[in-house]
Structure 1
Amino acid sequence: MVYLANDKRYDTMVYNRVGASGLKVSAIALGLWNNFGSVDPLATQKAILHQAFDLGITYFDLANNYGPVPGSAEENFGRIMADDMKPYRDEMVIASKAGYYMWPGPYGDWGSRKSIIASANQSLQRTGLDYFDIFYTHRPDPDTPVEETAEALDQLVREGKALYIGISNYSGAQTKAIAAIFKELKTPFIIHQPRYNMFDRHIEQDLFPVLRAEKKAAVSFSSLAQGLLTDRYLHGIPKDSRAAKSTIPFLHEYQVEKTLSTVKQLNAIAANRGQSLAQMALAWNLREPEIASVLIGASRPSQVVDNVQALDHLAFTADELHQIDTILAEQAK
């Protein structure tokens, strides 16, 4: 059956400008870190992508090592694009990254010019794309001069392989340093991708002031704290959940137990707002003017539908924000 996108897809989605650039992105973005690898059914992946696009999601986030196996998320995305989404390419913002381990030897990791250029070329080949809308350095390299990393990313733009440049996992000071180099090179650096959620707010004091000064935006990942900020664990740890799988990084059973009281209190606030906890957590991220978009993950289309409904209630009262801050401050003790 030929895929025809929903002709109402742009009616309700929110689109935010990325800093001072001319680019706008959907306030909800789809990340392909999990559930899009070689171990996941391609039909399900296609259904998720179709559902996201039908709801107005235009920003799709990849990286060279997403899988498993590493690279398979890009390959699967490329198959789906070629099969039935290619006619919509110009309506999509597709991003990828280089910087984490991808192949053996000294060139398959980090941020040297050699590694970044080779990785970007491989990613384009896997996805079958002519260019990425945004290409990121996935993490700062302590052993490579920041000038070299910046110049490699600038080269990708000059060669027509990327329209815009982003950085991820850079501190405020590191962001300021590389932004100065991009400014001198006249590189279209527009966006940062940091970890940010109710349980991890470190960028509020470190990174946000730099983004404001530099007129850049952010798209947050781990916006739901790997599922902690959902109703998934309110009544125990399901056997098929991420927390129950020891192979899933960043989320373990002890974290669920440690945060359960806090999650229940936050869930009560969300219920009073007429939202699920996940919807409130996404709206909470988007309250920050520097956050242009929040990344979500999905293992089935219905999760995309649920998360996009966060946009139905983005506003917070001062009392709600105070309650949330108080609860989170107690958790942080």
Structure 2
Amino acid sequence: KALYVGISNYSAEEAAAAIKILKENGTPCLIHQPKYSMFERWVENGLLDVLEENGVGCIPFSPLAQGLLTDKYLHGIPADSRVATSGVFLKESNITPEKIEVVNKLNEVAKTRGQKLSHMALSWILKDKRVTAVLIGASKPEQITDSIKALDNTIFSEEEIKLIDEILK
């Protein structure tokens, strides 16, 4: 028998149904792990509301879009990058000139906030009180230490949110 359950990548409707079934069977759903980043915003279309209504935590994975929301790809594809070495999760075909232009614009916003792009991307997700934590998926210990710096500036002005939304359209 399971004491607690977590789900991943369920739509709002699927999550609501799963949470209801689990509740009826005496096993509460504690967390949902959706893929969520500035580029993957589908969770904002009802899922976060369903989780909040049911007291289920939201712990997104891939908040940095497999490294795309860092300074790593601002000037092309580095030889030591995941794209160059494996291309399993982030493919070279996903790194279009248009996407890099968006990343560069977001990077400029981050600079005005006194942050690195990766810090702003993590802060942006954490600004929503319905998000419990984020899974950063660090491949090196120093990435964990660096990611913690996102907590130094988690408040966004309305103007910053509007600008970011405009860039991401």
| Range into which the TM-score falls when normalised by the shorter chain | over 0.9
Decide whether the 8 Å contact of 1:237 with 1:243 is kept in 2.
yes
* Residue 209 of structure 1, CA deviation: 2.0
* Residue 243 of structure 1, CA deviation: 1.5
Paired residue type of 1:156: A
2:94 corresponds to: 255
Structure 2: how far apart are the matches of 1:233 and 1:173?
35
Deviations 1:262-314 (A, max 9, x none): 00000001011111100000000111121100111222222111101000111
Deviations 1:238-278 (A, max 9, x none): 11101213x33231122222410000000001011111100
Q: TM-score, normalised by structure 2?
A: 0.94
Using the aligned pairs only, state the percent identity: 47
Residue 133 of structure 2 aligns to a residue whose secondary structure is: strand
Q: Which has the higher helix share?
A: 2
Structure 2: how far apart are the matches of 1:213 and 1:193?
16
Q: Which has the higher strand share?
A: 1
Count of paired positions: 168
Q: Greater relative contact order: 1 or 2 (C-alpha under 8 angstroms, separation 6 or more)?
A: 2
Deviations 1:77-126 (A, max 9, x none): xxxxxxxxxxxxxxxxxxxxxxxxxxxxxxxxxxxxxxxxxxxxxxxxxx
Unaligned runs of 5+ in 1: 1-154, 158-163
Match of 1:272 among 95, 98, 112: 112
Decide whether the 8 Å contact of 2:60 with 2:134 is kept in 1.
yes
Deviations 1:63-82 (A, max 9, x none): xxxxxxxxxxxxxxxxxxxx
2:62 corresponds to: 222
Deviations 1:127-152 (A, max 9, x none): xxxxxxxxxxxxxxxxxxxxxxxxxx
Residue 45 of structure 2 aligns to a residue whose secondary structure is: helix
Matches within 5 A, 1:239-250: 239-245=79-85, 247-250=86-89
Note the aligned Cα RMSD (angstroms).
1.2
2:73 corresponds to: 233
* Residue 186 of structure 1, CA deviation: 2.2
Find out whether 1:208 has 2:71 as its counterpart: no
Decide whether the 8 Å contact of 1:243 with 1:256 is kept in 2.
no
Structure 1: how far apart are the matches of 2:131 and 2:75?
31
Decide whether the 8 Å contact of 1:197 with 1:225 is kept in 2.
yes
* Residue 201 of structure 1, CA deviation: 0.4
Structure 2: how far apart are the matches of 1:225 and 1:219?
15
